[in-house]
Amino acid sequence: MPARLKQRCQPRRRLLRLGLAALAGLLAVAALIVVYAVAVEPHWVAVRTIRLAARPVVRLVHITDLHYKGDRAYLQRVVKRINATHADALCFTGDLVEDAGYLVEALRLLSLVRLPMYGVRGNHDELGDGNLARVQACFAASGGSWLTDERVSALGGRLDIFGSAGRLHLIAPDPAGTAPARYVLLVHDPALVRNLAGTRFDLILAGHTHGSQLRFPGGGPLFDLPLVEGYARGLYQTPAGPLYVNPGLGTFYLPIRFGCRPEITVMDI
């Protein structure tokens, strides 16, 4: 090859090498992100504490969307973290399992929670009579209750818990000032808060959205979430009271999370 032609080719070769190196770097970063999203973040539980009163009278721990699929070690760690919160009660807002074959083991592990447990069903909790009875028995044995459009007094009257499967008109709280209890509403779908005109709760807890599971770091979801009325994750002030949407402990459809760690939320009210 003539020297002059060789000199002309050298810059192109350098650009090609740089391009290949950049591509290799991008592929390596992409591979690391995938590994993190599949193997790390779905089990990297965050414990978040939110104080909603200057002088709280009740500490609740909120979990949701477990979607238990047989990962016993993970749920055991979750239970240990819950017990370490020293809360007064646990609130669960739906989706224990997708496959009823996992229900017995999920309930056995949840029975190790050393708190009264109150829960409502989610859209994946298609429980037949036998399985529903198991869930009800587990929550009752804890000192709590599995709620279906009803209200219970808890913690010696310090707390009234309302649990709704959608028929919100059945569980309206008393007029303000009639009782010293804190009023807490458990729902699965945060969009139901739109149906609470004329009512007021000290706290509304919901799940369902998983926070989208995939979020831009420090930003919003990678994908729009249908049917959640803008309530994707976190604390919102609504006419019916403060609403907290927990991003959940499990995953649905794809076993991945990015920028949206599973969460145990401690609420002081």
| Backbone dihedral angles phi then psi of residue 265, each to the nearest 5 degrees | -110, 125
Q: Are 229 and 194 in contact (CB under 8 A)?
A: yes
* Domain at 215, CATH number: 3.60.21.10
Residues 208 and 76 in one domain: yes
Residues 155 and 225 in one domain: yes
**Assigned token pair, 110:** 């949840």
Q: Are 61 and 90 in contact (CB under 8 A)?
A: yes
Of 268, 251, 267, 266, the C-alpha closest to 44 is: 251
Residues 21 and 97 in one domain: no
Banded pLDDT at 195 (limits 50, 70, 90): confident
Residues 53 and 30 in one domain: no
Of 183, 187, 188, 180, the C-alpha closest to 172 is: 183
* Residue whose pair of structure tokens reads 């690391």 in the numeric block: 32
Adjacent-strand bridge partners of 50: 267
**Tens of pLDDT, residues 25-45:** 666 656 666 777 888 899 999
User: Which structural domain range is residue 184 located in?
Assistant: 45-268
**Assigned token pair, 143:** 């000192």
* Residue whose pair of structure tokens reads 């650009």 in the numeric block: 15
Whole-model pTM? 0.87
Per-residue model confidence (pLDDT) at position 229: 63
Residues 18 and 93 in one domain: no
**Tens of pLDDT, residues 107-149:** 999 999 999 999 999 988 877 778 999 999 999 999 999 998 8
Residues 10 and 53 in one domain: no
Spatial distance between the Cα atoms of 121 and 119, rounded to a whole number of angstroms: 7
With a pLDDT cut of 70, the percent of the chain lying above it is 79
